Structure 1
Amino acid sequence: MSLTPQFLDELRARTLLSGLIAKSVKLQRAGREFRACCPFHQEKTPSFYVNDEKGFYHCFGCSAHGDAIRWMTDQRGLPFIDAVKELAQAAGLDMPEQDRHAAEKAERAKGLHEAMADAAKWFGERLQGIEGAEARAVLKKRGVTEETSRAFGLGFSPDSRDKLKEALKSYGDRMLVEAGLLIQVEEKEPYDRFRGRLMIPIRDARGRTIAFGGRIIGDGEPKYLNSPETPLFDKGRTLYNLDRAQAAARQAGRIIAVEGYMDVIALAQAGFGEAVAPLGTALTEHQLERLWRIAEVPLLCFDGDSAGQKAALRAAHRALPMLQPGRSLAFVTLPDGLDPDDLVRAKGPHAFETLLKAPEPLVDRLWASEVAAEPLNTPEQRAGLKRRLSELANTIADANVKSEYLAEFRQRIDVHFGRGPREFQPRQQPQAGSRTARGSRNARGVWQPPEAPPGATMRGVGAGGLDPILAKAVLAGLIRHPAEIARHMEVLGSLRSASGALGKLFEAVINVALEDRQLDSGKVLTILAKSGFDQVASDLLRADTLPFSFTRPNGADELKAREDLNEAIAVMVAQPVVDAALAEATQALSRDGSEEAFARQVALSRQRQELQARLANLMLADDEDFDD
């Protein structure tokens, strides 16, 4: 099948984006656009916009951006080709013709899907009949309600070698064997794979049954039996309950991976619909990628016993090479001997929610594991710890994340073995329920100022204002390097609140990027000129007034210029926030004179000095030669 650009453009043109998104998100008209609270992250003030004329959506809060196809893949979780097929069907477009082999494969898959759907229906009917009495008793004992049972399509397979085979005989033995419903041993007659088991349908992202998990009723081994891999079912790429969890995870702003089917079912019944599970194996790279498509930091909540914690550590090691800025894992540790199912039934949903609110970061899990791996009494043992931590960090592919992990592990080693500088220890602790954010000490014992609350950048800009020279330099750099606009859309969006011409110009730059994602400097200048900013933009490009690499005409070191621009944006945004916090801390120190207020004021002063040093490092020396 060949999906040409022309076909995809026609598909987008025939799809009313606001109509598609409105099926799951409440939209409000805002001029020529629609707006809503973003479905990709939690927010109270709408920052998610849908533009039918331009055919894209964009969130100024989390930078989610895309067209109709991207909506289907990111919000619905569909594979690309499935998203295209569903949109084409709704738009009345015929999919491009397949070659004969692909057509035969698609027809065979269609038959397998129908066979699996009929099998799920048949198992469900058996559960509700006389044969399913014992299975229903098991569900009742575990607290699974009839409503939950129906929602997950639970069923029962009678203890027989041929009842399912007979019920689905119209499909033929060959297809039922290919679907994993029958077992074929050499030349013997095929027979039912699942016998005397509680049946749990496994569905794909579109909600179609592709496999089954069977739990034994009574005694017997194995306790759980899964379908074999088939043309429909790839165990390492499938997550149980993904079809139901996607929407719940978008709303909750998190995705939870647990160990087994019954954990997922129990959590969903307790109100945690965002839970999924791997299928009897450790989390694979493909499953981790699927989780990261839904949330930047998935929560892994495996059983509290030794086996569960080893599985969590294996997942941590497997995730390391794939880490990226903002993309990690966090771990929820259950009391020893309990699984999520046990916990919510014994102590209620609130107990589980409490654990979810305080997950353990990936770096903490790795550190604790290696520190506990062996004694650290001798120089050789301490050197072994350093080597193991270094080897873990060096598996990370992303250079920036790797560097941060290496630095973090070095600092933790220094503090752990008493080599680091002694930090000031405040004697007073903040009062419970205090309304003033006081900060805290991190894992290395270093005091940290309070994390900026939502909107801190905007308030900082309002209180302290942008550094006008730096802001002009950044704007000049963005005109020189327009590809960087999209990378910093969220930050730039927060600067629209800046007063005067700077704020208006930042807003114009954002609109330029939204209008055309494939920009060069010429296009930027043309669009800004049409918006009345032609003279301002021209003035910004005068290289002799702005001492930064990224404001000069493109030279040999384009990479350095872009890196400097990224650093300048970070400093520009941080400065007003730190300045406003420092002013507040200075006032607090003058009021109460406490050691804690002093520590906060000193830390913020140090932060301000560091920002000034970072800015100074970006400025070019007078004798640096750049060709204009």
Structure 2
Amino acid sequence: MAITPQWKDELRARLTLSALVQRSVKLTRAGREWKGCCPFHEEKTPSFYVNDAKQFYHCFGCGAHGDAISWMVDHVGLSFLDAIKELASMAGMEVPAPDPAAARKAEARASLIDVTEAAQRFFAESLAAPGGAAARAYLAQRGFAPELCRTFGFGWAPDDRHALGRALGHFGEPMLEAAGLRAASEAGERYDRFRGRLMLPIHDPRGRVIAFGGRILTPREGLAKYLNSPDTELFDKGRTLYNLHRAAPAVRQSGRVVVVEGYMDVIALASAGIAEAVAPLGTALTEMQLELLWRLAEVPLLCFDGDSAGQRAAMRAITRALPLLAPGRSLAIVRLPRGQDPDDLVRQQGRTGIERLLEAPLSLIEALWQFERDAAPLATPEAKAGLKARLMAHVETIADPEIRALYRRELSDRFSAFAFPPRPPRAARTASEVGRRGAAKGTWRGAPVPLPGLTPEARSRLGALTLGGQRQGLLEAVLAGLARHPQEIARHAEALARLARSEPAAAARIEKLFELAETLDSRAPDAICSAQGQPAPSADIRYAFLDEGTDPDDACAQLAEAVSLLVERPALEAALAATIARFDSDPEGSFAEQARLRTRLMAIEERLKAFGRRKAAAPDAPGASGDAAA
């Protein structure tokens, strides 16, 4: 059998790379890693790091990089097979019997790399030749310095059907076709796949050329703007990230990896000093590419174009990522201005412009919510229900049960706040109106009365939770009102949960309401009584919805209004604080958002005043007794 990637993964998992390296290199602990002086070049300051969790070593000085197998080959000097045998012996594993077919395949793969490396030299020489003048002018017009062009290996494919075939003819047509450099027409005529294109080499993680991408200089009808090599024995688009071999060392220094749509965006970011950028190759991000990204950073930054196509690409990546989410493993989304890509932004604003966006990305859940919320008009109940169905369908794809539950709760809260906004306040009733309505029912009282049956012990036990102030008084009244109208607890469950987070002192009582609501008899006048430990509001807390003279429907409507007031104000205050904090980076947008939030806060204040007027109109307020007597 062959030595499969799965077998090699098992071998690496059984070994501790730092222990292997320390046989010949002195290492010291550096956080979660080990560091020491690089054995591959002379140095006095340690720049060689070993990461056991990710199973690789890397030198920031000379670029040496590899795993346990490459260590035995490159440092110890063993052949690949001897390295495998040595490591298998250490790990207590048996080496699979050699597979002649697999050995021939590995040999052919090595030969194909010779072909692609030779092709890269041909393209680079063609760029420097007179025939590459137009390509050189294009690179200069894009602002790419000669040093940058050499770093990324720009080349030129002459507009000739057989230029590459003649230059590399000694490899033979089968090898050139197997490397994806030549193709055959239906008539059997062979020709160069890349013609009249600016060329870029695509590398594997070890920095070897395995494929190419070509871009035409000027649009021509019938020609694709970009053309990549086909999948070959060397190159699998879904398992390859452009620039990964250069980005990996930069990621270790910056702590982030930036994913853009194309290789020209990668190079534009590199020209601005952002070296930790990679790109997929003509396809949406695949599961394997996401795994490669998560090996580099816990939260890769997706920075796709600001047009609708770019946002759809970001959403496809989110959809692919959801089933794979795990603790400490997510994505963040950078939203570029509409109609711009990273290349445009760098040319117009330089590094400052792109860094400002990279420092304030959207979380995955926020991007998911915004995309689905904005995907279609939501003017009808059916459309809003469709939004929730789409959100919950995404949630169900998450494999991790804890993350799935958290996403379901968070998206449900967002949907509820969006779909059920607070209603405008009702006009406050006067004391005489309340008195006449209560008298008609024969239940009017001259002053608010606590819930019946509360014992002094229960009141003493929960008295420590009593809160002062207007907002706290309203909170106590709401809790008492929910005890009186327990059927409303389930209706406001999500809002109450948010309230518990913003008012820790009331969290215990809110949780008690949830527990007791499952067993109470909602037909009783006071379903939650002293035996269950719910306190009455203090005597100076007076709201119409607590009065037995208030119509039950009106009381429940007022309760809903009070709950929304309690929940909405802290949320608005937090949003306002966040908006003020970003004033320096976005003064225009921050100012407009502050104005909108302050307007909403003023509306909240008016609604609170309306409740204050209802409080002042309690039955024992001035003039109330006269109205009652009437």
TM-score w.r.t. length of structure 2: 0.58
Q: Which amino acid aligns with 2:73?
A: A
CA drift of 1:91 comes to 1.1
Question: Aligned in 2, Cα 1:69/1:402: closer, same or farther, shift over 3 Å?
Answer: closer
Task: Please state how far the C-alpha of 1:379 moved relative to its aligned partner.
Answer: 2.7
> 2:312 & 2:114 partners in 1: Cα distance?
39
User: Following superposition of structure 1 onto structure 2, how do residues 72-471 of structure 1 map, counting pairs within 5 Å?
Assistant: 72=57, 84-96=69-81, 98-186=98-186, 188-220=188-220, 221-418=223-420
Specify which of 5, 13, 16 is matched with residue 21 of structure 2. Answer: 16
Cα 1:67–1:412 change in 2 (3 A) is: closer
2:182·2:193 contact (CA, 8 Å) conserved in 1?
A: yes
| Counterparts of 1:154 and 1:329, CA distance in 2 | 31
Deviation at 1:306, TM superposition (A): 1.1
| Contact map agreement 1:161 1:195 (CA 8 A) in 2 | yes
Shift of residue 187, structure 1, vs aligned partner: 5.6
Over the residues paired in the alignment, what is the CA RMSD in angstroms? 3.6
Structure 1 residue 141, shift from structure 2 partner = 0.6
CA distance in 1, matches of 2:470, 2:190: 73
Shift in Å, 1:355: 0.4
Secondary structure of 1:200 counterpart: strand
The residue type equivalent to 1:184 in the other structure is A
Q: Which residue identity lines up with residue 196 of structure 1 in the other structure?
A: G
Query: Equivalent residue of 2:227, what SS?
Result: strand
Q: Contact 1:246 / 1:294 at 8 angstroms: preserved in 2?
A: yes
Q: CA offset at residue 374 of structure 1?
A: 2.6
Q: Counterparts in 2 of 1:401-550, with a 5 A limit?
A: 401-418=403-420
Using the TM superposition, give the Cα deviation of residue 404 of structure 1 relative to its aligned residue in structure 2, in angstroms: 0.4
For 1:327 and 1:69, the matched residues in 2 are separated by 14
Distance in 2 of aligned mates of 1:405 and 1:73:
37
Contact 2:18–2:52 under 8 Å retained in 1: no
Change (3 A) 1:299 1:8: closer
Say if 2:28 is the partner of 1:34.
yes
**How far is the alpha carbon of 1:338 from its aligned partner?**
1.0
CA positional deviation for 1:67: 4.2
Q: Give 2:451's aligned residue.
A: none
The CA deviation string for residues 185-235 of structure 1, in whole angstroms up to 9 with x for no partner, is: 246232111111100101111111111000012232111111111000001
Please give the per-residue CA displacement for 1:329-367, whole angstroms capped at 9, x wherever unaligned.
Answer: 111111111110111111110110000000011111111
Distance in 2, matches of 1:271 and 1:354, equals 14
Q: Is 1:126–1:132's contact at 8 Å kept on the other side of the alignment?
A: yes
Q: Return closer, same or farther for 1:13/1:284 CA change in 2, 3 Å cut-off.
A: closer
**1:192/1:363 CA distance change after superposition, 3 Å:** same
CA contact (8 A) 1:197 1:216 kept: yes
Alignment-mate amino acid for residue 349 of structure 1 = R
Structure 1 residue 273: Cα displacement:
0.3
TM-score where L is the length of structure 1: 0.58
Question: For the residues of structure 2 that align with 1:249 and 1:167, how far apart are their CA atoms?
Answer: 38
> Which residue pairs with 1:70 in the alignment?
55
Distance 2:15 2:237 in 1: 35
Q: 2:128, 2:197 → 1: CA distance?
A: 14
Residues 350 and 446 (structure 1), Cα distance of their counterparts in 2 relative to 1, 3 Å cut: farther
Deviations 1:475-506 (A, max 9, x none): xxxxxxxxxxxxxxxxxxxxxxxxxxxxxxxx
Q: Which has the larger radius of gyration?
A: 2
**What amino acid does structure 1 have at the position aligned with 2:202?**
I
The letter for the 2-side match of 1:112 is: L
Residue 445 to residue 362, structure 1, CA distance change in 2 (3 Å)? farther
1:587-615 deviations in whole A, cap 9, x for unaligned? xxxxxxxxxxxxxxxxxxxxxxxxxxxxx
Write the deviation string for residues 301-326 of structure 1: whole angstroms up to 9, x where unpaired: 01111111111111111111111112
AA of the residue aligned to 1:95: F
Deviation (angstroms), 1:388 = 1.3
CA distance in 1, matches of 2:36, 2:59: 18
| Structure 1: distance between partners of 2:192 and 2:470 | 68
Measured in 2, the distance between the counterparts of 1:269 and 1:18 equals 40
Question: Counterpart of 2:294 in structure 1: which amino acid?
Answer: W
Report if aligned partners of 1:259, 1:302 keep a CA contact under 8 Å in 2. yes
Per the TM alignment, residue 265 of structure 1 is displaced from its structure 2 partner at its CA by: 0.5
SS of residue in 2 equivalent to 1:212: strand
Contact kept? 1:249, 1:294, Cα under 8 Å:
yes
Q: Deviations over 1:121-166 (max 9, x none)?
A: 1100111111110000000111011000000011001110111111
Question: What one-letter code is carried by the residue in structure 2 that aligns with 1:395?
Answer: T
Distance in structure 1 (CA, Å) of the matches to 2:54 and 2:303: 32
Structure 2, unpaired ranges of 5+: 38-48, 83-97, 426-468, 472-497, 504-630
Letter of the structure 2 residue corresponding to residue 327 of structure 1 = R
Give the conservation status (yes or no) of the 8 Å contact 2:33–2:51: no
Q: Secondary structure at the match of 1:96?
A: helix
The CA deviation at 1:416 is 1.9
| CA shift in 2, pair 1:425/1:78, >3 Å | farther
